Amino acid sequence: MAALPPLGIAERLGPEGLRLRELARGEAERKLVPMEDPLRFESEIEPDYPIDLLEPLAFLLARLLNSLTTSLAARALATDEIRLRCKLENRTTFERTLRLPVPSLDSKAFLKLWHLDLSAHPPQSPIVHLWMGMHPVKPQAAQSGLFVLAAPEPVRLELTLARIKAIVGQDRVGSPELLDTHRPNAFRLQPLPYGRGSDRGLASTRSRLMLRLYRPPRTARVALASGQPNFIAAEGIRGKVLEFAGPWRTSGDWWTRDSWSRDEWDIALSDGALYRLYCDPQGWFVDGSYD
């Protein structure tokens, strides 16, 4: 190819043939595009002896966290996920992951989060090797209003939530989300959202009655007249029913073992109080009071 005349190559192969001839003769020029290795923020430590206590483990975790956050800061990056992988003395692998609400580089808060997480989920054997990796992301810039009180940093709030979870349990902390069902009080807990919420719509709801639910509902004794509540007695509640609305019957899940049904009334007692009353197969209950 290098020895062939350019005119003949151009006639037969066109511009691509001429480019190949120049490459063969070392005459071609092109921009040098360096290839960069993908960014990996990982570090590992092999201790001198197996670690079975949290205090010496925290010391090694601090070293890994400080090293990785320093590397991220040098590239103007942060992290939103930290992975920990440990090789144990019994030749098994122990893995945990911390997912952060927002990108951060707060190594002290990271260490406290790991301390709480490993206290709740300790490895089953002494640790002989540690590996830690951080997922790099761009830092999140936030600017609050001039006259708005400064809110706590999301990572610090996550630390507070982790402490609460350690006390009450992982499945008892979160934001309630209603389920797509008519079953009363059916909800699930979702991770708490971060950021400032909107207060729109508050003015339109201030004039409405608010139902304060009793947990658990208060068992009641009810006297009926013509099939409707006439007198009620429960813990802290006693009086004649002057007015009522209902019953409203709801039911569901009849095709499962967890079927349910209930009749509800809104009642006004002789003392002026308003309550939500319901009846189900287990009996009568006061569900809450209206403000």
| Residue 228 backbone phi and psi in degrees, to 5 | -120, 150
Work out the pLDDT band at 151, boundaries 50, 70, 90.
Answer: low
CA distance 154 to 133: 21
CA distance 105 to 279: 54
Reading the block at residue 165, the tokens are 């979870």
Question: What is the maximum span of the chain, computed from C-alpha positions, in angstroms?
Answer: 113
Residue with tokens 């639910």: 213
Q: Give per-residue pLDDT as tens, 188-242.
A: 888 766 554 444 444 455 557 788 888 889 999 999 988 899 999 999 999 999 9
Q: DSSP code of 34?
A: P
Across-strand partners of 232?
A: 222, 239
pLDDT, residue 221, reads: 93
Letter for the amino acid at 22?
E
pLDDT, residue 246, reads: 84
CA distance 116 to 57: 13
**Could you tell me which residue, 10 or 152, shows the higher pLDDT?**
10
Residue with tokens 């509540």: 229
Q: Could you write out the three-class secondary structure of 142-165? A: CCCCCCCCCCCCHHHHHHHHHHHH
The answer to whether residues 88 and 31 touch, using CB atoms and an 8 Å cutoff, is: no
pLDDT, residue 134, reads: 94
CA distance 213 to 28: 80
The answer to whether residues 44 and 130 touch, using CB atoms and an 8 Å cutoff, is: yes
Give the chain's domains with CATH numbers.
40-139+153-173 (3.30.1490.100), 210-252+260-290 (no CATH)
The answer to whether residues 158 and 164 touch, using CB atoms and an 8 Å cutoff, is: no
CA distance 230 to 220: 13
CA distance 241 to 231: 5
Q: How many residues does the chain have?
A: 291
pLDDT, residue 194, reads: 58
Residue with tokens 């729109």: 200
Q: Give per-residue pLDDT as tens, 58-93.
A: 999 999 999 999 999 999 999 999 999 999 999 999
- Cβ neighbours of 19 (radius 10 Å): 14
Nearest partner of 105 among 131, 130, 143, 137, judged by Cα: 137
CA distances from 40 to 53, 62, 136, 159 (A): 29, 19, 8, 26
pLDDT, residue 204, reads: 52
Helix (H, G, I), strand (E, B) or coil at 79: strand
Q: Give per-residue pLDDT as tens, 153-168.
A: 677 777 777 788 878 8
pLDDT, residue 201, reads: 46
Total-model pTM: 0.58
